[in-house]
A and B are shown apart, each in its own frame.
Chain A
Amino acid sequence: MTQLILEQALNGLQFGLMLFLLAAGLTLVFGIMDCINLAHGSLYMVGAYFVAAAAQAADSFWIGLAVGVAGAAVLGLLLEVALFRRLYRRDHLSQVLATFALILIANEAVRAIWGPAAIMLNPPEALAGPVAFPLFGEEFFYPAYRLVIIAVGLAVATLLYLLVAKSRVGMWVRAGAANREMTEALGVNVRALFTAVFVFGAALCALAGGLLGPLLAVQVGMGESVLILAFVVIIIGGIGSIRGALVGSLIVGTVDTLGRALLPTLLRATLPADAAATLGSALASILIYLLMAGILFFKPQGLFPARA
C-alpha cells in the first residue's frame, strides 16, 4: 500500500510539474498582456515536434531537446512580433478567433510537414528502465525517466521562482501583471518585456512537450487537451501569478492522478463493482473541474490573485 501511494504521489508530482511548465508561460501572457492565447497548446505541440525531429537527426535525445527548445523560442519570437503584438489591444473575441485560427494552421502545418501518424519517441537508453531503492524493507521501483522529469521540473520551477521573485526583470513582470499602465508610466519598456515573456513561455512549452514526448506520443492535436488543463491550473492559481501556477499545477496533477487511481477502488467498498467502475471513472475525470468550480466559488480571483 505504501508503494502504491508513494508511486501515485510521484506520478501526480511529475504530471503537475509538466503542467506547471505550460501554465507558467500562459499565466504571464494572460496576466500581463490580458491576452487569451488558445494557441499556447500549439506551441507545446510544435515544440515537441521540433524536439522529436532534432533528436532523430542528432541521434541524441538531449541535443534534440536543446535544439527543439531553442527552435520553439525563435518561433515564439516570430509569432509575437508578427501577430500577437497586434492583438494585445484588441478585445478578447478577436484574440480567441485569431489564436483559434493559429491552432488550425499549426495542426495542419505539422500534419503537412511530419505526416499524420504519431511519432513515438524513446527515452535515452540509460533511462529506459526502473530505478530501485529500499523502502520499509521492500524494494521500491520507479521509472528512471520519470524521476529525471521530476528533477528537471523542480529545477525549472526553482529557477522561475528566483527569476520572478528576486530579479529586476521579474519585478517588472510582476509589476506588469499587477498594473500595466502604471508600469509603463514608470518607464519600463513593456513592449520588449512582453516579447521576452512570450518567447520564454514558448521555450517552456517546448521543454514540456519534449520531455513528455517519450512518455506520450508526439502527434497532431496533443496541444488541445493539455491546453484546457493549463487553463484550469491558472484559473485555480490566479491569473498572472507564477506562485499560483505552481500551486495550481501541483493540485491539479495530484488530484487528477490520485482520483483516477483511487476513486474506483474506494467506491468499490460501498457500491457494487460495476457501478463503482462507472461512477469512479466519471468522477475522476471531472474532479479537477469540480475543484475549480469550488475554488472559484470561494475565491473568484483564484488562490493567488496577481492584481491588487
Chain B
Amino acid sequence: MPLRLATLAAVLMLAGSAYAADKIKVGFVSTLSGPGAGLGVDIRDGFNLALKQQGGKLGDLPAEIIIADDQQNPDVAKQIADKFLKKDKVDFMTGIVFSNIMLAAGPAVFENKTFYISANAGPSQYAGEQCNPYFFNVAWQNDNLHEAVGKYVQDKGFKNVVIVTPNYPGGKDAVAGFKRYYKGKVAEEIYTKLGQLDYAAELAQVRSYKPDALFFFLPGGMGINFVKQFVAAGLSRDTQLFAPGFSADEDVIKAVGAPMMGIFNSSHWAHDMDNAENKRFVAEFQKEYGRLPSLYASQGYDAALMMDAAVRDVKGKVEDKAALQKALEAKRFKSVRGDFKFNTNHYPVQNYYLRVVGKDAQGRITNKTMGTIFTNHADAYVGYCKMK
C-alpha cells in the first residue's frame, strides 16, 4: 500500500502538476503535561474550537489532527517532529509553546519543507538571521510583549526595577525586549531554572534591592507560584508587578485568584476586545470549555483559521509549496485580535495593549484593556532577515 502510494505520487510529480490532497494532516505538538501544560491545553482547545466551527475541515478538506505531548522536553519534541514528518507525512505543524522546544524541532521541519504555523513560540533567531520561508508566527515575536511593558514602565517613570525570568532563550529575549524600551536602572536580573517552583531564595534577594517595580516573565506554573509567593512574602506593598500578557492571563488568574489584582500587563489580544470575530470566539470558547479563553487559546484559534484560509486559497493543492507560502503570507482570515499583517520575516506587525487585572462588571477577577502601547509594531530583528 505505501509502495503504491509512492508510485502514484511519483507519477503525478512526473506529470508536473500538484495534485489536490484529499485531506489535510496537521501535526500538533505541544506541552500538555507538567507545569507548562495549561498553555498547551489552551492552544489545543482554541485550535480545536476553530476546527469545530469549520465542521472539522480546513479549507473545505477533511482535517486530521495528530496531537502529541512534548513534555516540555526538546528531545521528545524532536522525536515527535521526526515522526510527524517522516511517518505521518503531515501537511502542517503547529502547537509548540516554548522557544527552546521550537529551536530544537524547527530545523527538521524546515528541512522537510513543511509549513510550521507557530501559535506561540516566537524566538528571535527565526525572526532574524535564521528566518525561514516555512516558519510563520501567528502570535508575536518573543520580545514584543516585553517591549510593550518596558515602554509603559519607562513612561510611568519607575526608577529601580528588578527582572526575574527563567534561564532559557525566551527569558533572555524577554530581558532584551524589556530593556530595549526601559532605560532606567535595573537593580538586578535574576535568572531562575526553567520549571522552578519555589522562589523563596529569589524573593529574599528581591526584597534586599527594594525595587519600585518588578518585571517578571515566568510562563505557566512558574508564574502562578511566583505571584502567590510574592504576595505571601509581603512584597506587593512596596513593589508594583509588571508582566507580559503570558504571565497574567486567564490561566494564571484562575489559579492565583485575588493576589493577581492590580498587575499591569501587555498583550496583543484581550477577551474584551470589541470585534465580531472575538465576541463569537470568546462566547463559544466559554460555552465549549466553561472558562474564559487566554491569549494562548486565541493564538491556537488564529492558527487554525490561518491554515483554513490558506488551504482554501490554493484549492487544496498543498503540495505546491510556493503557492501555499503566498497564500499564508496573504493572511486572508479575520483574526480575533483585529487586523494585522505579516512582516517579511513572517512575524506579525500589530498593536499591543495595556491590560490590568481587576474585577469586571460580574465580579469576576479578569483582565481589562486600559489602552494602546504600540500601534503597528514590528519586531527588532526583521532587518537581519534575508528572506524577501
A contact set with B: CB distance below 8 Å = 1, 3-4, 7-8, 11, 14-15, 111, 116-118, 120, 122-123, 128-130, 132, 141-146, 214-217, 219-221, 257, 260-261, 265, 277, 281, 285
Q: How far is the CA of A118 from the CA of B71 in the complex (A)?
A: 12
Report how far A98 CA is from B197 CA in the complex, Å: 30
Shortest Cβ distance from residue A203 to the other chain B in the assembled complex, whole angstroms: 23
Name 10 A/B residue pairs within 8 A (Cβ), A-sorted: A3-B207, A117-B38, A117-B41, A129-B232, A142-B233, A146-B232, A215-B198, A217-B225, A261-B204, A281-B191
What distance in Å separates the Cβ of B236 from its nearest Cβ neighbour in chain A? 9
Chain A CB within 8 A of B127 CB: no
Which stretch (B9-17, B29-37, B321-329, B359-367) binds chain A?
B29-37
Tell me the bound Cα distance from A145 to B198 in angstroms.
Answer: 13
Closest to A5 in B: B204
B232 near A116 with CB under 8 A, answer no
A-facing mask of B220-232, CB < 8 A → 1, else 0? Answer: 0100110011011
Q: Which residues of B approach A to under 8 Å, CB–CB?
A: 32-35, 37-38, 41, 69, 167, 191, 193, 197-198, 200-202, 204-205, 207-208, 221, 224-225, 228-229, 231-235, 255, 257, 259
Complex Cα distance, B193 from A123, in Å, reads: 24
The answer to whether A4 touches B34, judged by C-beta atoms less than 8 angstroms apart, is: no
The answer to whether B200 and A14 have CB atoms under 8 Å apart is: yes
Name the distance in Å between A209's Cβ and chain B's nearest Cβ.
13
Bound together, the chains give a CA A118 to CA B69 distance in angstroms of 14
A220 touches B232 (CB 8 A): no
Asked whether B233 lies within 8 Å of A3 as measured between CB atoms, the reply is: no
Known: A146-B200, A217-B221. A129 touches B35 (CB 8 A): no
| Number of interchain pairs (Cβ within 8 Å) | 95
Which residue of the partner chain A has the closest CB to B197?
Answer: A216
CA distance A246 to B231 in the complex (A): 31
A64 to chain B, nearest CB (A): 17
Closest chain A residue, CB of each to CB of B37: A117
B33 contacts across to A, CB distance below 8 A: 111, 116-117, 220
Quote the shortest CB–CB distance from B225 to chain A (angstroms).
Answer: 7
Complex CA distance for A1 and B205, rounded to whole angstroms: 10
* Shortest Cβ distance from A256 into B: residue: B201
CB proximity of B67 to chain A, nearest CB, Å: 12
Docked pose: A3 CA to B209 CA in angstroms = 12
Residues of chain A with a CB closer than 8 A to B201's CB: 8, 11, 257, 260-261
Known: A7-B207, A217-B35, A217-B225. A129 touches B198 (CB 8 A): no
- Of B33, B200, B221, B228, most buried by chain A (CB within 10 Å of CB) is B200
Between B33, B38, B224, B231, the greatest number of chain A beta carbons within 10 A of the residue's beta carbon is seen for: B33
- Bound complex: CA A7 to CA B204 (Å): 7
Give Cα A153–Cα B225 distance, bound, in whole angstroms.
22
Residues of A within 8 A of B229 (CB): 143, 215
- From residue B223, how far is it (CB to closest CB) to chain A in Å? 11
Beyond contacts A117-B32, A141-B235: 7 other A-B pairs, Cβ-Cβ < 8 A, are: A118-B221, A132-B234, A219-B35, A221-B34, A261-B202, A261-B205, A281-B167
CB-based contact B233/A141 at 8 Å: yes
A143 proximity list for chain B (CB < 8 A): 229, 232-234
A120 touches B224 (CB 8 A): yes
A128–B232 touching, CB < 8 Å:
yes
Residues in chain A near residue B259, CB distance under 8 A: 128
How far apart sit A162 and B352, CA to CA, in the bound complex (Å)?
Answer: 62
Check if B231 sits within 8 Å of A129, measured CB to CB.
yes
User: Hey, which chain A residues are within 8 Å of B35, CB to CB?
Assistant: 118, 217, 219
CB distance from A246 to the nearest CB of B (A): 21
Instruction: Choose among B37, B221, B233 the residue that contacts A130 (Cβ–Cβ < 8 A).
Output: B233
Shortest distance from the beta carbon of A168 to any chain B beta carbon, whole Å: 39
- Give CA–CA (A130, B167) in the complex, Å: 28
How many Å lie between the Cα of A1 and that of B208 in the bound state?
7
What distance in Å separates the Cβ of B244 from its nearest Cβ neighbour in chain A?
20
Q: Which residues in B have their C-beta under 8 angstroms from that of A111?
A: 33
CB distance from B327 to the nearest CB of A (A): 35
Closest to B167 in A: A281
Residues of A within 8 A of B32 (CB): 116-117
B148 to chain A, nearest CB (A): 26
Max chain A CB contacts within 10 Å: which of B32, B198, B235?
Answer: B198
Instruction: Determine the chain B residues whose CB is within 8 A of the CB of A146 once the complex forms.
Output: 200, 232
Q: Determine the distance from Cα of A111 to Cα of B69 in the docked complex, in whole angstroms.
A: 12
How close is B175's CB to chain A, nearest CB, in angstroms? 12
Give bound CA distance, A16 to B38, whole Å: 30
Min distance, Cβ A83 to any Cβ of chain B, angstroms: 26
Known: A117-B41, A129-B232. A216 touches B208 (CB 8 A): no
Q: Which residues of B contact A285 (CB under 8 A)?
A: 193
Alpha-carbon distance A16/B191, docked complex (angstroms)? 23
Contact of B205 among A4, A15, A116, A130 (CB under 8 A): A4
Q: Are A128 and B231 within 8 A (Cβ)?
A: yes
The residues of A that contact B231 with a CB separation of less than 8 Å are: 128-129
Separation of A11 and B198 alpha carbons in the complex (Å): 10
Report how far A122 CA is from B232 CA in the complex, Å.
11
Taken together as a complex, chains A and B put the C-alpha atoms of A122 and B229 apart, in Å, by 11
Whether the Cβ atoms of B225 and A215 lie closer than 8 Å is: yes
For B228, the chain A residues whose CB sits under 8 A away are 122, 128, 214
CB of B34 within 8 A of CB of A122, answer: no
Q: With CB as the reference atom, state the residue of chain B lying closest to A260.
A: B201
Q: Which of B207, B235, B257 contacts A122 (CB 8 A)?
A: B257
7 residue pairs, one from A and one from B, having the closest CB atoms: A130-B234, A116-B33, A117-B37, A141-B234, A143-B232, A11-B200, A7-B204
